[in-house]
Structure 1
Amino acid sequence: MPNPDIDLQRLDVHSRSERKAVSHRALLHAALTLVGEGRSFTSISLREIARQAGMVPNAFYRHFASPENLGLELVEEMGITLRRLLREARQVDPSKGDILRRSVQVYQQYVKANRLVFLFISSERSGGSRVLRVAIRRDVTHFTNEMAQDFRDLGLYKELPTARLQMVCGLIVMTMLAAAIDILDLPADQPLLEHEMTENFVRQLQLILLGAGQWREKPSRGDLPA
């Protein structure tokens, strides 16, 4: 017969863990809510974040060493989820549809569903904390390298050297990041505008890929005949 005291202890540990997870998410959401009010992330103090989350300031330190650490988690979380979604979009059989268009649609839906996160990313890419800027650039590099590897696995652009393929994928990722603001600014219930934006987004990426398909390495000066 199980010991009821042990069962209660396990239940209490589980309950504490759940409460901590809820508080952790509340702090992340509180920071994003303040960003959504037009604040730059680096101008927000931990006291404001804690207050927005309904906690005392000291409770913040049970989850994060500083607001900057909270920001790093937001960057990492967004990157992991978005890379997974787009990887899944690229791995569908190409014969079943347009991979490029499907990836654009997946990205647009993700941006719209995570508006506050992308406001945060867009703001921190060009200002604020150097630590966050470096983290975002690092995530862009991960994104670029994974996309290049997926292209290799799909047998695309076989003639391109790895460095050139990564450059092409980097252009795609930067175009996607630049498009996030346009997606966020799109008025609600405007299907024609959304369709036009989608088509323009797809054409931009098609131009990049068309250029990649036509790329030919020129010999360096040392390789030219005398």
Structure 2
Amino acid sequence: MTETRSRAQRKEQTRQRLLDVTLGLITDRSLAGLSLREVARAAGIVPTAFYRHYASMDALGVDLVDECMRPLRQLLRQARRGRVTHGDIIGETVDILAAQVRASPDQFRFLTRERYGGVAAVRRAIDVELRLFTSDLTVDLARLTAGFDWTAEDLEMTADLMVTAMLGTVLALLEADDRRPDEVAARLDVAQRQLRLIVLGMGAWRSKP
């Protein structure tokens, strides 16, 4: 049993190393330009050992998308749980997003670049993750707006606008100079105001009869 657990742990460590070295190798280029041999060499394994973990570089890229997006989605879901006012949600959402971008900028550069990159499977994986963000937020908006006359389509449209605004915030934070806290603070302030503006617009919105 101990030997089996140890083997599984080593396999997981190698898988994580493959993800980490891939992220490091594509800081300034596309995943499509990266070879399996290059990744294997950087991870310290032979190319044939790569296939014990992934069927292809596309499969590794899809796993990397999950590695990048899942923690953020879980953190945002936890932050919204139990919240009863828009103000609570907006402030904490922006704070969490900023902390994640600050902690893992290479992951977010990968996501923003590969969203329109040359690997179709990775583009689809990113699109699926963004739709999961929208779906989660739609459910929470339905809970917060219970009693208002908004359709499921209205709520999904609003959630999509919020997710799009957050993507813009990610790009703004990646471009901001960390040595200038005032610049970062200004961009976070804009992010909060954008989300508040969307919420205010919800109050005036009326679905077509």
Q: Assess same fold via TM > 0.5.
A: yes
1:24 is displaced (CA, Å) by 0.4
- Which one has a bigger Cα radius of gyration? 1
% identity of equivalent residues: 38
TM-score by length of 1: 0.86
The aligned residue for residue 29 of structure 2 is: 39
What is the RMSD computed on CA atoms of the aligned residues? 1.8
Over 3 Å counting, the alpha-carbon distance change for 1:21 and 1:60 in structure 2 is same
- What amino acid sits opposite 2:21 in the alignment? A
The residue type equivalent to 2:133 in the other structure is F
The structure-2 alpha-carbon separation of the partners of 1:105 and 1:48, relative to structure 1 and needing over 3 Å to count, comes to same
**Which residue identity does 1:14 align to in structure 2?**
R
Check the 8 A contact 1:125/1:133 in 2, yes or no. Answer: yes
| Contact 2:84–2:144 (8 Å) recurs in 1 | no
State the distance in 1 between where 2:156 and 2:58 align: 29
Q: Please, which moves more after superposition, 64-73 or 136-145?
A: 136-145
Contact 1:72 1:135 in 2 (8 A): yes
Post-superposition CA distance 1:68-101 (Å, at most 9, x none): 1011112223332211101111124446x62201
Q: Which moved more, 1:117-126 or 1:179-188?
A: 179-188
Q: Which runs of 5+ in 2 are unaligned?
A: none
- How far apart, CA to CA, are the structure 2 residues paired with 1:133 and 1:169? 21
Aligned counterpart, 2:175: 185
Match in the other structure for 1:17 = 8
2:19 is the counterpart of 1:28: yes
Runs of 4+ in structure 1 over 6 Å off? none
Any residues of structure 2 matched to 1:24-173 within 5 Å, and which?
A: 24-36=15-27, 38-94=28-84, 98-155=88-145, 158-173=148-163
Q: How many pairs align?
A: 209
